[in-house]
Structure 1
Amino acid sequence: MKRLLSVALFACAAVIASPQQYPQMGPDIYNTTADAKPTIAQALELARKQNKHVLLDFGANWCVWCHRLHELFTTDPQVRAALQRDYITVMVDVNKRNGPARNADLDEYYGNPTQHGLPVLVVLDASGRRLHTQETGALEEGRAHSPEKVLAFLAKWAPER
């Protein structure tokens, strides 16, 4: 009994002393080891060639709203079509939990969009000029992002054809 109590106390102490754990929300959607600068440079080159804009999606893998928006981007046929037609999307990991902030230099360079929360979207024209920063709470409806609001946002900031 004494040994069992000791094991239980040790387990509790380990949980209390360990870093905060976040709920698993499926596979990571943001690359936690990537420096997003080269990816953005490649996206801008493609955008110039294809007459598209670049959509930067700043977020973190622990963020449930980031996963919800990503799911909408990848599963809603109309949203997916609008993204493919008009944008090159770059997922930028800006996790600040359990370690140094990732891609903090890019957050600062684009006007600290993460001050609005996560996820946050930044639209760039093909030359790299920031056109708009969108906090995504305005695109939500209930416990999800509204496909209609997201489509309206994408249409408003799409390149002219």
Structure 2
Amino acid sequence: MIRFAFTLALAAPLAGCATVPQAAALHPEAMPYSEGRDAMADVDAALARAKQRNTHLLLVMGANWCHDSRALAGWLASPRFQAMVTERYEMVFVDAGKPQEKQGRNLDVARRFGIDELPGTPNLFVIRSDGTLVNGESVTGWRNAASRSEDAIYNELLALASG
């Protein structure tokens, strides 16, 4: 009986590990967040392009270490999303570091659009070409991106593009 309980105690954590690859397969992943870029210059250039094209800026502040950031970036890189994003947005990925551990990066970009604190990653900003934030109430609510459905993310971005 003791041997059975011991085996069960060892098997439970391993069963959790076995589900990790399956969970990762539920969404694509990408790692576009680069520490070395001039984030503010990238945002300025994208806003200029958005103004020329009469579109919005889709600014994603995340990090390559974060599975939710990688999942959101993966969806945005998929063919379905690329068609919509290319038509309706200029997109920029900005490395945010680890803001929840007070090791954030490029937080001046978030503050530029009225978001003073990032509680984690990713954060998704939809910004009109004149620099006004469309989705202030939902910017920091994307930390569960890996568990959102493809359709839910797509439909939300489609609706925000009209805002």
Q: Which runs of 5+ in 1 are unaligned?
A: 1-25
Cα deviation for residue 122 of structure 1 reads: 0.6
Q: Quick check: 97-106 or 33-42, which moved more?
A: 97-106
Residue of structure 2 in register with 1:123 after alignment: 126
Percent identity between the two aligned chains: 26
C-alpha distance in 1 between matches for 2:128 and 2:45: 13
C-alpha distance in 2 between matches for 1:72 and 1:31: 18
C-alpha distance in 2 between matches for 1:91 and 1:54: 11
Cα deviation for residue 91 of structure 1 reads: 0.5
- Retained in 2: the 8 A contact 1:59–1:119? yes
* 2:64 partner letter: N
* 1:91 partner letter: F
The Cα RMSD (Å) is 2.5
Residue of structure 1 in register with 2:75 after alignment: 72
Residue of structure 2 in register with 1:23 after alignment: none
TM-score (norm 2): 0.69
- Retained in 1: the 8 A contact 2:30–2:74? no
Aligned residues: 130
Q: Which runs of 5+ in 2 are unaligned?
A: 1-28
Question: How big is each residue's C-alpha offset from its partner over 1:17-76, in whole Å with a ceiling of 9 and x where there is no partner?
Answer: xxxxxxxxx87421101221111111011001111100110111110111111111112x
Residue 147 in structure 1 maps to residue 156 in structure 2 = no
Instruction: Report the CA distance shift for 1:32/1:137 in structure 2 as closer, same or farther (over 3 A).
Output: closer
Instruction: Report the CA distance shift for 1:152/1:93 in structure 2 as closer, same or farther (over 3 A).
Output: same
Residue of structure 2 in register with 1:136 after alignment: 142
C-alpha distance in 2 between matches for 1:154 and 1:27: 18
Cα deviation for residue 108 of structure 1 reads: 2.5
Residue of structure 2 in register with 1:105 after alignment: 108
Instruction: Report the CA distance shift for 1:119/1:100 in structure 2 as closer, same or farther (over 3 A).
Output: closer
C-alpha distance in 2 between matches for 1:57 and 1:84: 15
| The structure with more radius of gyration | 1
Question: How big is each residue's C-alpha offset from its partner over 1:61-113, in whole Å with a ceiling of 9 and x where there is no partner?
Answer: 110111111111112x3222111110111101110389953102122233136
C-alpha distance in 1 between matches for 2:105 and 2:89: 24
Instruction: Report the CA distance shift for 1:33/1:151 in structure 2 as closer, same or farther (over 3 A).
Output: same
